[in-house]
Amino acid sequence: MTELISKLEIKRIHHYVQKIQQVTQRIDIFCSALLLQAWRRMNYVFNRREIHSSLKRRQGNCLRCGRCCHASFKCQHLEYDDKGLSLCKVYDRKPLMCSLYPYNEKDYFFHLKPTCGYKYDDE
Ligand code: SF4
């Protein structure tokens, strides 16, 4: 009986540990996404020419997963069509920073880099 209780306790503790890991991972993603958004804007101000040059090396296509549009906060202009592909409600006049993503090999939300349709040569 005591053994059963301790097994149940261990299971419950394991469950809580998993929940804590999930929450900390979400916080980590959220904070790093916010930092990247600040960094990429500041970097653009100081390295505009270099960024437009590195964009010429960008390969691939946007897969319209929409994940970069809610890397931290969900963009208010993001919608999905009936096939589950992202749609930007202001596509024709979307912010420059959105069109430029990712503008070089460092300009990725770290959790999205493996699945993004855009790639750079030296990756
Ligand atoms: S993460 Fe990459 S593939 Fe997905 S919507 Fe953004 S740019 Fe497109």
Q: Is the CB of 63 under 6 A from ligand 1?
A: yes
- pLDDT of 123 > 60? The answer is no
Ligand 1: distance of its center to the CA of 28 in Å?
Answer: 20
Please tell me the distance from the alpha carbon of residue 98 to that of residue 93, in angstroms, as a whole number: 10
The answer, yes or no, to whether any atom of ligand 1 lies below 6 A from the CB of 60, is no
Q: What angle do CA 27, 28, 31 make, to 5 degrees?
A: 80
pLDDT, tens digit, for every residue of 6-26?
888 899 999 999 999 999 999
33-49 pLDDT per residue, tens:
999 999 999 999 999 99
Instruction: Report pLDDT digits (tens) over 50-62.
Output: 999 999 999 999 9
120 lines ligand 1 (CB under 6 A): no
Please work out whether the CB of residue 65 comes within 6 Å of at least one atom of ligand 1. yes
Of the residues 59, 61, 65, 80, which should be mutated to test ligand 1's pocket, given the most ligand atoms within 8 Å of the CB?
65
100 pocket-lining for ligand 1 (C-beta < 6 Å): no
Nearest ligand 1 atom to the CA of 118 is 2
Contact between residue 88 and residue 98 where contact means Cβ atoms under 8 Å apart: yes
Question: How much of the chain exceeds pLDDT 90, in percent?
Answer: 88
In this prediction, residue 122 has a pLDDT band, given cuts at 50, 70 and 90, of low
